Each structure stands twice: as structure tokens, then as C-alpha cells.
Amino acid sequence: DSVFSHVVRAPEDPILGVTVAYNKDPSPVKLNLGVGAYRTEEGKPLVLNVVRKAEQMLLNDKSRVKEYLPIVGIAEFNKLSAKLIFGADSPAIRENRVTTVQCLSGTGSLRVGAEFLARHYHQKTIYIPQPTWGNHPKVFTLAGLSVQTYRYYDPTTRGMNFQGLLEDLGSAPSGSIVLLHACAHNPTGVDPTLQQWEQIRQLMRSKALLPFFDSAYQGFASGNLDVDAQSIRMFVADGGECFVAQSYAKNMGLYGERVGALSVVCRAADVASKVESQLKLVIRPMFSNPPIHGASIVATILKDSNMFNEWTIELKAMADRIISMRKQLFDALRARGAPGDWSHIIKQIGMFTFTGLNSKQVEFMTREYHIYMTSDGRISMAGLSSKTVPHLADAIHAAVT
Ligand code: PLP
């Protein structure tokens, strides 16, 4: 008899579980719209050409060794990552008020930031949007923070509940941490306008709420790296403090390389350097130091202006394909006369569309049409192609009529 026989089976991860079910389905028309990873028009995973090129250069460089990195990772990668998100001319960088540490993609960066806050920040409550990426509550709770939600999405308009957001942040205790999706909110695809960001900023600064940005889609939302960083740059421009978790999973297609960074913008250089010293104490017993390969690829691309340009072109092509899928799905639903207003499909931004389909309709589409997605009606636009749009439109039409 095992000493572990009392262990109860855990449920499948709700997002990864979609793929498990999809893999079991023998139907030739099956479609997986659950995955949060880019697919080509042919439905294949994509490795960017510029990434292949960088890997080749790294491979050819015989001076490279496999020694441990420092606890904070590759210094050059950290510098370039800060520059990418805050802008080349950022005063915060120039004044050495930013500390950046290499972490394990977006998730690891969120976790390291949260662990630091749980140890060193006077407020232990973090407000996350309702809804949000399913991993957020778990990451922050396990790091020792207490999680509250703020209203974000309005199902009746399939848009922003801005009034609700202002009310909830307005009544949050002073000093609370607030998790903000920098762009391409997951799962809703609904982002504040620049004017709304400015209102959020004023409210948060007036109440000393601490912004923690999750930037998992820079460049992937609009196709432009600077446009997708505007929300963060507004908060940095006012001289105040904030946390930023960056991921290169989507925008460089480096999902499995686990490459990301945590930046903490402080009011003064000496504070930033003390914060960094404590971040090392968080990282050391967690994973000791980060892996070399992914961050070397990113640094190789970011530091070379030609490769950087190549990257922006490939990034824009991914974003444009997703935007074109939105248009095609919207047109196909209109052509079928599907009842209701589907304009949210073209208004929403980023990898996902929050269709507004309920769990019963999702179940129907899986059963009758072999289309797989999360039960909240979120579909990955990146998993669609011109060839599969008609099948999805047929399924949605049948589900709503
Ligand atoms: N944050 C958001 C909003 C996401 O959608 C994701 C990935 O789906 C992540 C963070 C973390 O991704 P990763 O850890 O792969 O960088």
C-alpha cells in the first residue's frame, strides 16, 4: 500500500485540458481553438526566421560555454528588455531607477514579483480583473498575496465595464496592488482606450495603488511594439513606481524556451539597486538562476538593428493574420445571417475573441462540430485559418439559432 494512496486526482488544467480532449477526437474536421499559441494559415506552429538565424549564430560561436548565469540572468538581455518595454529614451532607465531580472517567461516573472511584494510591500492585497487569465489567482495566492477582483468586462456589451472598474479601484484600500494587462486582455480581448488608461492612471496614483503590469502580448496586439507598450509608458512617465512582467512567448514565438523578465521601476536609483538585491534572494531558492538559450536568442535579435527590424516585420505578419481572421469570421457570420451583433469580434484585440457563447453552446459545438475551446466561449483567433473559418461560422450559427 502506497503512502500516497490518499492523494486525490487533480482536475485537468481547464485550458490545457481542451487540447487533451481535442487529441482524443478522431474526426478529420476537428478544430482546436483552445491553445494560446500562434498557428500559421496551415495550422502549424511557427518558428520565426529571425529566431532560426539567431540560433544559428549562437551555434557557430564556439566561444559560448554552458556555465551558470548570474542569479539575475544575462545583463545585456535585461537592459534590452527594459528598453523594449519602456522605450529607448525612457528617463527611468537613464536615471538607473529600473531594475530588470531575467525570469522564466511571463509566469515566472509574475511569481518572482509577487513573492517580492509579499515579503517587502506593506499591502498584501492584489486586485485582478474579472475575468482574467486563469493562472493569475493561483500565482498570486501561492506567492502569499491575497487576491481580490475588480469589475472589468460587461457581458451585455461584450466590452469594457469602465464605470465598474473605476468604482472598484476607487474603493480599494490605499496602497493595494493592481494587476493590469498591458494590452490584449486575456480572455476578453477588451482593452481600455488611451483616455481610459489616463483616467485609470490618475485614479491609481491619487490613491497610491501600485500597478503590476502583465505584458504577455507586446507587439502581438496591434502589430506595433511601441503602441502596445503605451499603457505602461504612461505610468512610467509620471515618475511613479510600477512592476512589469514581460514574456517573449508570443511575440517571439519562444513559448517553450521560457524567456521573460521582471522590471521594477522605482523612484530612485539606490532603491532600485536594493530591490534588485532582494529579488536575488527570491530567485536563488526558487530556481537558482535562469536558463541561457532563450535569453541569448532574444538578446541577439534585440541588439542588432537589422535583426530587430526583421523581427518587427515577422511580428506584424502574425498580428495581421489574426486581425484578418477576425474580419473573415465576422463576415462569415454576417453572410449566414447569424442572429445578434458580432461586431465585438472585430473590435476585440489580441490572440483571443471572447465570443459571448455560453458553456451549453460551447458543449454543442464540440459535440456536433468537433470544435474545441474553453467553456467560457474564448476562441484563439491564432488557431483559425481561411479554410476553417466557414466550419466555425456554421457551428456558431447553429449554436445560436
Ligand atoms: N499573462 C497572460 C495574460 C497570458 O495570457 C499568458 C499566457 O498565456 C501569460 C501571462 C504567461 O505566459 P508565459 O509564462 O508562457 O510567458
Ligand 1, pocket-test mutation among 214, 246, 255, most atoms within 8 A of CB = 214
Mean pLDDT of the region 11-20: 83
ipTM: 0.98
Ligand 1, pocket-test mutation among 13, 19, 85, 135, most atoms within 8 A of CB = 135
Percent of the chain with pLDDT over 70: 100
In this prediction, residue 17 has a pLDDT band, given cuts at 50, 70 and 90, of: confident
Q: Give residues (CB < 6 A) around ligand 1.
A: 36, 105-107, 133, 181, 186, 214, 216, 247, 249, 255, 260
What kind and span of H or E run contains 120? helix 105-120
Percent of the chain with pLDDT over 90: 95
User: Any catalytic annotation for residue 24?
Assistant: no
The alpha carbon of 184 and the centre of ligand 1 are apart by a number of angstroms equal to 11
Mean pLDDT of the region 326-345: 95
pLDDT greater than 90 at residue 50:
yes
The alpha carbon of 151 and the centre of ligand 1 are apart by a number of angstroms equal to 21
Weakest-pLDDT range from 229-233, 269-273, 377-381: 377-381
- Nearest CA to 185 out of 354, 17, 327, 377 is that of 354
Ligand 1, pocket-test mutation among 133, 231, 352, most atoms within 8 A of CB = 133
pLDDT greater than 90 at residue 330:
yes
Q: Which residue has a Cα nearest atom 7 of ligand 1?
A: 216
Alpha helices (H) along 207-304: 230-237, 269-287, 293-303
Q: Which atom of ligand 1 is nearest to the CA of 107?
A: 14
Q: Which of 53, 168, 191, 214 is catalytic?
A: 214
Q: Please, what is the average pLDDT of the chain?
A: 96
Decide: helix, strand or coil at residue 341.
coil
Q: Which atom of ligand 1 is nearest to the CA of 105?
A: 16
- Nearest CA to 107 out of 299, 251, 258, 257 is that of 258
The model carries a pTM of: 0.96
Residues 103, 94: Cα–Cα separation, whole Å: 23
What is the reported pLDDT for 234? 98
Q: 317 CB contacts (<8 Å, ≥6 apart)?
A: none
The alpha carbon of 216 and the centre of ligand 1 are apart by a number of angstroms equal to 5
**Helix orientation angle between 75-86 and 230-237, rounded to the nearest 10 degrees:** 90
- Nearest CA to 99 out of 249, 289, 220, 279 is that of 279
What is the reported pLDDT for 16? 79
What is the reported pLDDT for 11? 87
Q: Which of 53, 191, 228, 250 is catalytic?
A: 250
In this prediction, residue 18 has a pLDDT band, given cuts at 50, 70 and 90, of: confident
For residue 391, which phi and psi values (nearest 5 degrees)? -65, -45
The alpha carbon of 394 and the centre of ligand 1 are apart by a number of angstroms equal to 30
Q: Which residue has a Cα nearest atom 12 of ligand 1?
A: 106
CA torsion angle 232 89 100 136 (round to 10): 10
The alpha carbon of 107 and the centre of ligand 1 are apart by a number of angstroms equal to 6
Q: 183 CB contacts (<8 Å, ≥6 apart)?
A: 191, 215, 217, 218, 221, 222, 228, 229, 231, 349, 350
What is the reported pLDDT for 14? 78
Residues 234, 201: Cα–Cα separation, whole Å: 8
What is the reported pLDDT for 176? 98
Q: Which residue has a Cα nearest atom 6 of ligand 1?
A: 216
Q: Which residue has a Cα nearest atom 8 of ligand 1?
A: 36
Decide: helix, strand or coil at residue 51.
helix
List, for residues 265-278, the tens digit of each pLDDT value. Answer: 999 999 999 999 99
User: Any catalytic annotation for residue 342?
Assistant: no
Q: 273 CB contacts (<8 Å, ≥6 apart)?
A: 96, 99
Mean pLDDT of the region 114-136: 97
Q: Which residue has a Cα nearest atom 16 of ligand 1?
A: 106
- Cβ burial of 360 (10 Å; 0-12, 13-18, 19+) is exposed
Q: Which residue has a Cα nearest atom 1 of ligand 1?
A: 216
Strand partners, 31: 371
List, for residues 131-172, the tens digit of each pLDDT value. Answer: 999 999 999 999 999 999 999 999 999 999 999 999 999 999
User: Any catalytic annotation for residue 238?
Assistant: no
List, for residues 59-112, the tens digit of each pLDDT value. Answer: 999 999 999 999 999 999 999 999 999 999 999 999 999 999 999 999 999 999
Residues 105, 295: Cα–Cα separation, whole Å: 10
What is the reported pLDDT for 207? 97
Other C-beta atoms closer than 10 Å to the C-beta of 247 total: 27
The alpha carbon of 248 and the centre of ligand 1 are apart by a number of angstroms equal to 9
Ligand 1, pocket-test mutation among 16, 128, 247, 380, most atoms within 8 A of CB = 247
Radius of gyration for the alpha carbons in the chain, expressed in angstroms and rounded: 21
pLDDT greater than 90 at residue 35:
no
Residues 142, 183: Cα–Cα separation, whole Å: 25
**Helix orientation angle between 194-206 and 230-237, rounded to the nearest 10 degrees:** 40
Mean pLDDT of the region 202-219: 98
